[in-house]
Every structure is written in structure tokens, then in C-alpha cells.
């Protein structure tokens, strides 16, 4: 049984991770999250009263609060999901990405290190700091090749540059201060509770709302897609079995162009919930001006995690998408409430400039 401190657990992946941990383990969790526009704690209604779960609202940039929560909770591990995570938003307003993803991570590392040094020798052997990162730190690939753990960093957007910086800080804290860190870099996630500004939920919601389905450029950019529960399982395994100081790439073995992703969603929706007007949802597809600095292709070589940790993705793209579409159809209250909130609505979709 572990005591975990999860940062950013009110977000999409952290939230799925916590719900899974509480279902599948006896681990106890403190979820430390500031609740930005992307944070949502309604997903934890089903676990209300669970003695193994506690929520604390706070900012990873607030040193005093971070220090206090770590020393009060006495975690065996910190799993750091908290971040500003949307590339488009980072283009519009990079400074919050620098603050949260770089400064926030450095404060968390400093406070975790103080705590680590004060632990008994036995507890120190168990302690881990697991940093959740992205494949976007590596920049873009051409038509051939895949990223692996030794690929040089070459980030393109303010988001990926801020995540790259945080990865470097985490490694530096291991080499300089001996903090027992682990880093995972994962590809594009999709699944339940993803904020409806990201491609897959946005497409599902716009399709059934009879709105255009915007695609950047010609839709030729390629991403590797992973169902969120596969990512969460990989993180749990790395936490238990990962070698200190190591990085593990996590991917879904599923490269698709954006156009293929949107067309697949349309075809599945045509079967699951046919458009009342009798047309295919594909007819709603519309191409919009490309995003600046849009990386062409990401692809993941996941042999290291497969060989060392015995993890590989379980969900095919079709299975994962079917689950996701059903979830968004059955949970319209969740996303409708988000859509009604007063925040920067223009980012609830890809806008034509």
C-alpha cells in the first residue's frame, strides 16, 4: 500500500489515473490541483467518502503550500501530472505555460528534495518522483523513423518547450541532488473526461451538435494515439518497476493522420448514432488554416517499456474510440456544463484566423 501525492489529478489523465488507482489498489491519494479551466472534480462524485482519497486545492508554484502538503501527507511517491497542456493556448499565451510547467515543476522538485533528505534511509529507498511528460518534446519526424529514449530534444511550441524544460529540470535534480526520479513521455491520449477542446472530444461533440468538424491544414499531420487507461496502466507500472533516473516512452502503436482520426470517428458515429438528417457526419468536415509550427509527425518506439516493464497498450484504436464515443454520448451533462462556463470560448475549437 502506497501513499501517493498526485499533482493535476483533477485534469484528464490525472483524474483517470486516480479513479483507476482507487478501483484497483489500496493506495491512498492526495490530489493537489489548483483547478484551472481544465480541472474538474465532479468526476470524483462516485468516490465521495472514500477514506483513501483527499483533495487539496493549491498551486504548484506556491512553495509554502507545496512544502506543507508534502510534509503533512508524507508521500511514498509524487506523480506529477499538473501542467498547462494545450498547444493552441500556449501559442496564444505562453507565460502561464512557463510559470506552471517550468517554475511550478522546479518548486515541486525543490520541496520534494527537502522532504526526501529528511526521510529515514528505508523510506528514501522507496521514494519516487514520477514526472509525466509528452512526446512533443522531441519535435517533428519526417515520414520515416520513430522517437526513442535517446532522441534529442527539439520542441516546436511554447507548450512542448516548457515540457522539455521541465524534463531537463527533473533529470538535473536526479543528477545533482540524487532525487529518485522517473520520467515518462507519452503520445496523444484520448478517452473519458478529456476537456472538449482537444481533437477527439471536440469532433464527437461538434458532430452530434451538427457543427463543422474543423481540421488543421489538409489533415495530414500524424500523431500516435493511446487510450487513456493504457497510459494510466503504464504509469502505474513505471512507478513500481521503473529504474531510477530512467525515461520511458509510452505510446499506443497507433499512428493516424488527423483526417483519418476524424473520418474514423464519423464512421463509428454513423453506426452508433446515425445523424437524424440521414447524412454521414463526414459531410461536416471542414479544413481550416494550419497552426503555426505544427509538427508533421510523431511516432513512438516503445521497446524499452515493453522489455523492461512488460507493458504494452491493450486497446486498438477502434476499441478505444468506441469506448470514448459511448462515454461522451452517455455523459452529455459533463461536457455541456463545461461548455456553458464562462471562459475563453474561442479556444473551444479550432478557429480560423
- Residues near ligand NAD (CB under 6 A) are 7-8, 10-14, 33-36, 38-39, 59-61, 81-85, 100, 104, 132-134, 163, 186, 188-189, 195
Nearer to ligand NAD, 134 or 151 (CB): 134
Shortest CB 226 distance to ligand NAD, Å: 8
β-sheet with 255-257: strand ranges across:
188-190, 222-227, 255-257
| Residue from 248, 254, 252, 253 nearest 308 by CA | 248
Q: Would you give the DSSP letter of residue 347?
A: G
Q: Side-chain half-sphere of 178: how many Cα atoms within 13 Å?
A: 6
Nearer to ligand NAD, 155 or 284 (CB): 155
Catalytic residue among 33, 40, 135, 233: 135
| Helix, coil or strand: residue 129 | strand
136 is a catalytic site residue? yes
Nearer to ligand NAD, 55 or 127 (CB): 55
Nearer to ligand NAD, 83 or 204 (CB): 83
Shortest CB 251 distance to ligand NAD, Å: 10
295 is a catalytic site residue? no
Shortest CB 33 distance to ligand NAD, Å: 4
248 is a catalytic site residue? no
Report helix, strand and coil shares of the chain as percent, to nearest 5.
45, 15, 35
Residue burial 45-64, b: 16+ Cβ < 10 Å; e: rest: eeeeeeebbebeebbbbeee
Nearer to ligand NAD, 160 or 284 (CB): 160
| Helix, coil or strand: residue 285 | strand
Shortest CB 281 distance to ligand NAD, Å: 23
C-beta neighbour count of 346 within 10 angstroms: 9
Shortest CB 124 distance to ligand NAD, Å: 25
Catalytic residue among 136, 167, 233, 255: 136
Catalytic residue among 159, 216, 248, 315: 159
Residue of closest CB approach to ligand NAD:
11
> Which residues are the active-site residues?
135-136, 159
Amino acid at each position: 500500500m502506497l501513499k501517493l501525492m498526485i499533482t493535476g489529478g483533477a485534469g484528464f489523465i490525472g483524474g483517470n489515473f486516480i479513479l483507476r488507482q482507487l478501483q484497483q489498489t489500496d493506495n491512498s491519494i492526495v490530489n493537489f490541483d489548483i483547478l484551472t479551466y481544465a480541472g474538474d472534480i465532479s468526476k470524483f462524485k462516485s468516490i465521495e467518502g472514500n477514506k483513501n482519497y483527499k483533495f487539496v486545492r493549491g498551486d504548484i508554484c506556491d512553495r509554502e503550500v507545496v512544502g506543507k502538503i508534502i510534509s503533512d501527507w508524507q508521500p511514498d511517491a509524487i506523480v506529477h501530472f499538473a501542467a498547462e497542456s494545450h498547444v493552441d493556448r500556449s501559442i496564444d499565451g505562453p507565460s502561464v505555460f512557463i510559470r506552471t510547467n517550468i517554475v511550478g515543476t522546479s518548486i515541486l522538485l525543490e520541496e520534494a528534495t527537502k522532504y526526501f533528505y529528511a526521510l529515514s534511509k528505508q523510506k528514501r529507498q522507496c521514494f519516487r518522483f514520477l514526472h509525466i511528460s509528452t512526446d512533443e518534446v522531441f519535435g517533428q519526424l519526417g515520414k520515416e523513423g520513430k522517437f526513442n529514449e535517446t532522441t534529442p530534444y527539439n520542441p516546436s511550441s511554447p507548450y512542448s518547450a516548457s515540457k522539455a524544460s521541465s524534463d531537463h529540470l527533473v533529470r538535473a535534480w536526479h543528477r545533482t541532488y540524487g532525487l529518485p526520479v522517473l520520467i515518462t513521455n507519452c503520445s496523444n491520449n484520448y478517452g473519458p473526461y478529456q476537456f472538449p477542446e482537444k481533437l477527439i472530444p471536440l469532433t464527437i461533440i461538434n458532430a452530434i451538435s451538427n457543427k463543422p468538424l474543423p481540421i488543421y491544414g489538409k489533415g495530414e499531420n500524424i500523431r500516435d494515439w493511446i487510450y487513456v487507461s493504457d497510459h494510466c496502466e503504464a504509469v502505474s507500472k513505471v512507478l513500481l518497476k521503473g529504474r531510477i533516473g530512467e525515461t520511458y516512452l509510452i505510446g499506443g502503436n497507433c499512428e493516424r493522420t488527423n483526417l483519418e482520426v476524424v473520418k474514423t470517428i464519423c464512421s463509428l458515429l454513423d453506426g452508433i448514432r446515425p445523424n437524424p438528417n440521414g447524412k454521414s457526419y463526414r459531410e461536416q468536415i471542414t479544413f481550416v488554416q494550419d497552426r503555426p509550427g505544427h509538427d508533421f509527425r510523431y511516432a513512438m518506439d516503445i521497446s524499452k517499456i515493453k522489455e523492461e516493464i512488460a507493458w504494452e497498450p491493450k486497446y486498438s484504436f477502434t476499441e478505444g474510440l468506441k469506448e470514448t464515443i459511448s462515454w461522451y454520448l452517455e455523459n452529455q451533462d459533463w461536457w455541456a456544463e463545461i461548455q456553458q462556463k464562462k471562459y475563453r470560448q474561442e479556444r473551444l475549437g479550432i478557429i480560423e484566423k
